[in-house]
Amino acid sequence: MTTGTLRTSERTTAIKEVLASNDVRTVIANHLGVSVDRIRDATHLSHDLGADWLDRLDLVTVIEDQFPGLEITDDELDRIEVVGDLIRLIETVDNERRR
Catalytic machinery residues: 52
Q: Three-state secondary structure along the chain?
A: CCHHHCCHHHHHHHHHHHHHHHHHHHHHHHHHCCCHHHCCCCCECCCCCCCCHHHHHHHHHHHHHHCCCCCCCHHHHHHCCEHHHHHHHHHHHHHHHHC
